[in-house]
Structure 1
Amino acid sequence: MTTRSGEISDEEVLEVLERLRKDCDNPSGFLALNSGNAYFTDPATNGVIAYREAGSYLLQFGGVHAPPDQQETLLRSFLGDACRRRRKVVAVQVLTPDVDLYVRCGFTVNQVGSSYSVHLPDFTLRGTRFMKLRNKISRARRSGLEVTEVPYEECAAEVAAIDGAWLRSKGRHAKEIEFLVGELGGPVQHARRLMLGRLGGKAIAYISYSPAYGSRSGWLHDLSRRLPEAPPGVMEAINLTALETFRKEEAEWLHFGFTPFTGLSAEHDPAGASALTRKVIGLLADHGDKVYPAASQLAYKEKWGPQLVHPEYMAFHGRARLGAIWQILRVTKSV
């Protein structure tokens, strides 16, 4: 077995990308390639597990990326390695098909949020349901907005200027959320797509899309930023341009990704779920806007009429621990 942490070479990251292309079935799985992540492999399998160290925990991301008949072998091997290192394992963004695997391997599993996806062949903006969305997009386009797909390397300075203004608008103590959201640059940038909005020749907003592999392949609506003074409807207009582009290319799905603390239901929790974790997640859902802007994220995603809403889970090896939830919040820079 091999544990790779610390400095990961570009070649190693590209090897993980190839494993994800073959075996990943999580629409957000590309985020496993974020800088700062570590990787675990075992010679007995063809898969990989992505994780990040935080205190006495290993925070595993996105499930077990391996052929189905090798997933349990790889997960148990990872747990054995964590035990030897005296670390506890907590998995985040585990999907419904993987819940039974984690329960078999001794995890306590709770729903922590939901993901939202649009089936591109069926997508339409017709009807009264989408009237407000159509009007916002029309308003942005009438303002002179131009949306183009641009290689990141050609607009990196413009993107950095948008990022800086966006972060300053959030307040002096604001931090960029990490780990569960994407990034730009690095050895896998060639796999992403970047849509840039300009007004009067000035870059004012962008959305980055990452590839989604597996049974619901397509694209993941990932990192998005805009200047505070950008007119209403800019992000929607950029996303519609991308959506129409992907549909012309015959992509199947546009995924809007994971939103914590949304779509919660006790019916989604498996037997043995932690009542304490359910209570904590419920409190964060009701009062956690300072931790994560779930309400605004959900409103943006729902306006596109997602046909698929599926629960996502947090899994604690052994019993649930509040300390693990704190470490996840800390690593994502939510607190």
Structure 2
Amino acid sequence: MSAPAADHPVLSAVRTHSLAENPSSFLALNAGNDVFAAPDAEGVIVYRRTGRHVVQFGGPFASPDSYGTLLERFVEHVRDRGLRLVGVQLQRADAERYAAAGFTVNQIGASWAVGLADFALRGTRFMQLRNKISRALRSGLQVKEVTADDWYEALARIDGAWLGSKGEHARPLEFLVGEVGGQFQAHRRLFLGTIDGSPVAYISYSPVYGSRAGWMHDLSRRVPDGSPGLMEAINAHAIEQFRSEGVQWLHFGFTPFTGLDSRHELPGHSPSFQWLMHCLWAQGEQLYPARSQLAYKQKWAPDLAIPEYIAFDGQASLASFAHVFRACNAF
């Protein structure tokens, strides 16, 4: 029998151990993840196995005293089984620990965050955003926060229409994106947009812990033939709700290949992998739509770009990098 959501060891770990300040930490609770723990260390490591690779999400969610021990035990566990380890969405504090442990660590992208204390959609820089929101509202869009249990069928229809618009070979991403439903849904928040009572779009927000606590703009879907500005209008509504509650930060999550800067790289990084990340930012839209993802996030004038890292046990490996996408169900 699974642990009640409030007592779940992974939930407890991501809430309690904020050493790395990972804004995506709640994704550790996604269905399908595996969990590693050691009897002599406090905390957990979350991962998925794909073929002969183990893809770890974030660093250890562990107390400072147990972090190194838990990482060492996990590396032994993976190596003893003849597998290759790659960690993704490491934060800077994680990256430094992994580099010191002999991993090859490179920046892979960034996550983005907006401070809400003084946020307002005033001024010329938000004019286009305001126009899109107004257009969606003029089309009859109404936005409300809802309970997912009451709307699963409608959400599934939106998901199906959205995925169908991506082409016959499109697959729903997992692992590094959130989900709706399951054991931990009560900890998320869901904002739904309807027109004439019919659901047309939604955004799910996941909790963020640590010194920049708040919510993360996570899973978002819309019907492909809907009015422009649906997502913007839903997010603007959610921001006003969060601000009324005193929430300090809205995070927009991780986007690979964005925010790349040589100043973020650590000693011992792979120059060839660094080149690959810049190449994928320039020409990799078929692999991942990083430019369009970033364009949406930049509409909200983020205050922070938080570098995120990938760590290879040994040399940087294109095969290991590909297995990150396998773990995400990208192919």
**TM-superposition CA deviations, 1:101-158 (whole Å, max 9, x none):** 1111111000010110001102121111011111111111122111011100000000
Paired residue for 2:175? 179
1:262 equivalent in alignment to 2:258: yes
Structure 1 residue 27 corresponds to structure 2 residue 57:
no
* Residue 288, structure 1, aligned to residue 288, structure 2: no
C-alpha deviation, 1:281, in angstroms: 1.7
In structure 2, the partner of 1:147 is 143
2:2 pairs with 1:18: no
Whether 1:190 aligns to 2:186 is yes
- The SS at the match of 1:314 is strand
Match of 2:67 among 71, 88, 112: 71
Give, as a single letter, the amino acid of the residue that structure 1 aligns with 2:216: L
Q: 2:228 aligns with which of 229, 232, 235?
A: 232
Per the TM alignment, residue 315 of structure 1 is displaced from its structure 2 partner at its CA by: 0.5
Task: Show CA shifts across 1:54-95 (max 9, x none).
Answer: 122111101111122321111111111112122221110011
Contact 1:197 1:204 (C-alpha < 8 Å) held by counterparts: yes
2:242 is the alignment partner of 1:246: yes
Partner of 1:301: 297
Structure 1 Cα separation of the partners of residues 27 and 2 of structure 2? 17
Residues 162-214 of structure 1 show CA distances to partners (whole Å, capped at 9, x for unaligned) of 00011111111111121110111110011010000000010000000010111
Assess if the C-alpha contact under 8 Å between 2:112 and 2:297 holds in 1.
yes
The code of the aligned residue for 2:37 comes to T
CA contact (8 A) 1:14 1:188 kept: no
Deviation above 3 Å: which 4+ runs of structure 1? 8-13
The separation in 1 between residues aligned to 2:55 and 2:113, in whole angstroms, is 25
Q: Counterpart amino acid of 1:294?
A: A
Q: Partner of 1:3 in structure 2?
A: none
Does 2:274 correspond to 1:278? yes
Q: Say how many residue pairs are matched.
A: 328
Paired residue for 2:307?
Answer: 311
Distance 1:69 1:119 in 2: 31
* 1:15 CA displacement: 2.6
Residue 80 of structure 1 aligns with an amino acid whose one-letter code is: E
- The 8 Å contact of residues 111 and 313 in structure 1, kept in 2 or not, is answered as yes
What is the CA-CA distance between 1:10 and the residue it aligns to?
5.5
Residues 324-333 or 228-237, more deviating: 324-333
Which one-letter code corresponds to 2:139 in the other structure?
S
User: Following the alignment from structure 2 to structure 1, what is the Cα–Cα distance between the partners of residues 59 and 226?
Assistant: 37
Which segment is superposed worse, 52-61 or 15-24?
Answer: 15-24
Q: Distance in 1 between matches of 2:73 and 2:312?
A: 16
3-state secondary structure, aligned to 1:26: coil
**Structure 1 residue 11 displacement after superposition:** 4.5
8 Å Cα contact 2:45-2:61 kept in structure 1? yes
Match of 1:118 in 2: 114
> Given the superposition, is the C-alpha separation of residues 290 and 9 from structure 1 closer, same or farther in structure 2, using an over 3 Å criterion?
farther
Q: Distance in 1 between matches of 2:169 and 2:76?
A: 39
Mapped contact 2:55–2:327 kept (Cα < 8 A): no
Residue 198 of structure 2 aligns with an amino acid whose one-letter code is K
Unaligned segments of structure 2, at least 5 residues: none
Does residue 52 of structure 1 match 2:48?
Answer: yes
Where does the alignment leave 5 or more consecutive residues of structure 1 unmatched? Answer: 1-7
Partner residue of 1:156? Answer: 152
Query: Percentage identity across aligned positions?
Result: 52
One-letter amino acid of the counterpart of residue 14, structure 1: H
Secondary structure, in 3 states, of the residue corresponding to 1:122?
coil
